[in-house]
Chains A and B, each alone.
Chain A
Amino acid sequence: MERWWQGRWCIRRLALAAFLLSLIAGLPLTAVRTLRRVGRATLSLGEDARGARVRLLGAATVAALDSIRHAIPEDGEYLLVDGGEELQAEAYWVRFELAPRRAVFLGRLSEMERAPRLSWKLPPAARGVVVAYPGGPSRLLSGREFLELLEAKRGPG
């Protein structure tokens, strides 16, 4: 009986020790993440919302988005193409940046290049085609410019 009690006592002590150890082990991570955020905020004192956007998205990206916003009114619509080679999220982020403008998603540029020419037919009534490039500024093209881009990518034949 006594041994049984001692066994239980050991398990409880072990559980408490493990819990305290987990708190101690978590301290550096919490401290680093906390200090990093406070430090970043301190460094960005005096920076406005636009400055923060430029810092995090890049000046070229912000300028490109501004120019597309200027060309398409808020209640307008556009065709959106993912300019990445593989499934990436850039088109999502461009849609977010351009909202509330309405997007019709055409697909990935790399897939469209492989499609037969006859299927290159753009939906009407859009102000243009926005190509979202991962890691670079987006481009707004007219329907004709976009079809020319596809032709150029596909090459002769």
Chain B
Amino acid sequence: MVPGEALRGLAGVALFAAPGSGLAELLPTLRQLPPGRRLAYGYLLGVAWTAGWLYALSHWFAIPLRSPAILAVAAIPTLAGAAGAWRRRRRERRSASPSPPPTATKLAARLALIVGVAVTAAGFCDALTAPLLDWDGRLIWSTQARYLRAEGSVDASVLEEGKWWVTCPWYPLLMPVAQVAVLEVTRAGVDHHAFRPMYSAFLPVWLLLVWGGARSYAGQEAAGWTTLAAAMLSFPAFAGAGGAASAYSDLPLACFVGGGALLLLDLRGRLSAGLAAGILLAAAILTKAEGEILGPLALLVAAVVPLLSTPGARRREIWRRRRSMLALASLPVFLALALLHSWRAGIAGGFESFTRLTSWPLLWPGLLTRLPRLAHDAGAEMLTYADWGLFWWVAPLVVAAGWRGVRRRPARALLLLAGAPLAIGWLYATIAVDPHFIVTATWDRFLLQASLPFLMVFAMALRDLTRRATWQVQRRGHHTHLHRSESDLADGQLLSVDSGA
């Protein structure tokens, strides 16, 4: 590692963190978050904004993917955010309000912080010192990025002409565009791996989203243990076939969909949360083929599920409070869908790589006949110690034993959102010509895509377990506390334990 070259990689991360922080400053919902979570959402917004606009400008207005355009797109929110922060600080200095008292950090949260920092540092060490060696990163994403960079356009002729050997030319190109942005701005050579830290940065972002979301739903202790468990999972951190160490788009997709959904499920229905969520879901659509389903689905789930099994008057009130937020969130989503379909219309070969691997007539009776084989293969992937440790051995037990914690209203939406990528993966394997190959190659990545909502549910169950296990020790036979806790847990509202830290 040479310091100058390492700085290039870190500058690539800053290229997205700066405009994202600007956007987070301009959006009140994100501005009020603690610094770590604000930075996490900021990074996601920065990638979504910068690469998303470059994608649109290149396709619709033929603006080249070169430094002037990249820097201009990144500078707008950076400068606007800086101006907003400066004005806010001046206002706050005049009316100096006392800052909230710091909250005591629990053991689990400290352990999660230590492990999270360690695996993040390890990921950056690898990304700063070694070239890309993973499978799909070289097969698809980074190869496409090289074509885009050479032609300075997302409508590269190599993708459109159909006579060249390109794998999955119809895959959405948000992450390759982000790669091009890093390489162009840092003036890195074609072989330089300056874009790899950009992917590594998604790991701490994912962990901060797990921590922040779990803290909102289940409190600090359960969030700490859940984040610790997430930080110790090898697949998201180290896997060369989908983790932060690779140039796959699965971890970015998990962060975009999960982060957007967590913002949308907040029952307060703030407009700025809707806009931020919409930008993230739009990025999900432009990141990976599954995002085209998962992004709009997250919007639908956030719109419908809070209204289910709610009395009429309350339902109307929830809808009135949230409809503007949902409408605002849907704007970037529709724009991204329009961009994706407009861009894809010019790509040669259609879904050829997908249709070669699958056959729809296999769907029935494959749904039944392939079930045992697929369950066996998927189970084997989940129980692989090298990828997931013992997490999938114990997670079902924890969720089942803490099921009362999962009866709360947000859990239904989260379970739906966690189930959606797994359902897509299952369907894909069911209609696959070689289901064993598809499961072994993709199931771990579908788990990663489902990870954020699932870990929220896991945290809720864990909270229920820890509370009840403690109470039972302290007050065996005293059922009054237990009754009170059940009414606490069934209230269906977002817990208000989100201040501080």
Choose one: B149, B165, B389; the contact of A104 (CB below 8 Å).
B165
Q: How far is the CB of A3 from chain B (nearest CB, A)?
A: 13
Q: Kindly state the interface size class of chain A when it binds its partner.
A: 35 or more
Choose one: B121, B135, B150, B163; the contact of A100 (CB below 8 Å).
B150
Asked whether A50 and B389 contact (CB < 8 A) given A23-B232, A40-B125, A103-B165, the answer is no
CA distance A52 to B130 in the complex (A): 6
Contact present for A13 and B469 (CB under 8 Å):
yes
Choose one: B2, B135, B393, B476; the contact of A48 (CB below 8 Å).
B2
Query: Which residues does chain A contribute within 8 Å of B67, judged by CB atoms?
Result: none
Asked whether A89 and B397 contact (CB < 8 A) given A33-B238, A47-B129, the answer is no
Contact present for B398 and A15 (CB under 8 Å):
yes
Kindly supply a per-residue 1/0 record for chain A positions 13-27, scoring 1 wherever the CB is within 8 Å of any chain B CB and 0 otherwise.
Answer: 111101101110111
Query: Which residues does chain A contribute within 8 Å of B233, judged by CB atoms?
Result: 26
Contact present for A15 and B167 (CB under 8 Å):
no
Residue A105 at the B interface, CB < 8 A?
Answer: yes
Within 8 A of B (CB), among A104-131: 104-105
Residue B191 at the A interface, CB < 8 A?
Answer: yes
CA distance A53 to B149 in the complex (A): 21
Q: How far is the CB of B108 from chain A (nearest CB, A)?
A: 10
Q: How far is the CB of B226 from chain A (nearest CB, A)?
A: 10
Query: Which residues does chain A contribute within 8 Å of B158, judged by CB atoms?
Result: 100, 102
Contact present for B164 and A37 (CB under 8 Å):
no
Query: Which residues does chain A contribute within 8 Å of B142, judged by CB atoms?
Result: 96
Q: How far is the CB of A14 from chain B (nearest CB, A)?
A: 7
Contact present for A41 and B129 (CB under 8 Å):
yes
CA distance A23 to B389 in the complex (A): 8
Residue of B nearest to A45 (CB): B1
Residue of A nearest to B120 (CB): A34
Residue B105 at the A interface, CB < 8 A?
Answer: no
Q: How far is the CB of A122 from chain B (nearest CB, A)?
A: 14
CA distance A40 to B123 in the complex (A): 11
Q: Count of chain B residues with Cβ under 8 Å from any Cβ of A? A: 64
Contact present for B398 and A19 (CB under 8 Å):
yes
Query: Which residues does chain B contribute within 8 Å of A140, judged by CB atoms?
Result: none
Residue B147 at the A interface, CB < 8 A?
Answer: yes
Query: Which residues does chain B contribute within 8 Å of A152, judged by CB atoms?
Result: none
Contact present for A41 and B191 (CB under 8 Å):
no
Contact present for B131 and A49 (CB under 8 Å):
yes
Residue A44 at the B interface, CB < 8 A?
Answer: yes
CA distance A102 to B49 in the complex (A): 30
Residue B214 at the A interface, CB < 8 A?
Answer: no
Contact present for A46 and B1 (CB under 8 Å):
yes
The residue in B128, B231, B462, B469 that gathers the most chain A C-beta atoms within 10 A of its C-beta is: B469
Asked whether A15 and B397 contact (CB < 8 A) given A33-B122, A52-B131, the answer is yes
Q: How far is the CB of A50 from chain B (nearest CB, A)?
A: 7
Residue of B nearest to A123 (CB): B163
Residue B466 at the A interface, CB < 8 A?
Answer: yes
Q: How far is the CB of B210 from chain A (nearest CB, A)?
A: 15
* A to B CB contacts below 8 Å, 27 in the list: A2-B477, A9-B472, A12-B465, A14-B401, A15-B465, A18-B398, A19-B462, A22-B393, A25-B390, A26-B389, A26-B390, A29-B386, A33-B237, A34-B122, A37-B123, A38-B121, A44-B1, A44-B130, A49-B2, A49-B191, A50-B191, A53-B131, A56-B133, A74-B150, A99-B143, A99-B150, A100-B149
Instruction: Taking A15-B400, A89-B135 as given, write out 15 further A-B residue pairs in contact, using a Cβ cutoff of 8 Å, ordered by the A residue number.
Output: A2-B477, A5-B476, A9-B472, A15-B465, A16-B469, A19-B229, A30-B119, A30-B237, A38-B121, A47-B129, A49-B193, A92-B138, A96-B138, A102-B158, A104-B165
Q: Top 3 nearest A-B pairs by Cβ distance?
A: A100-B150, A41-B125, A26-B389
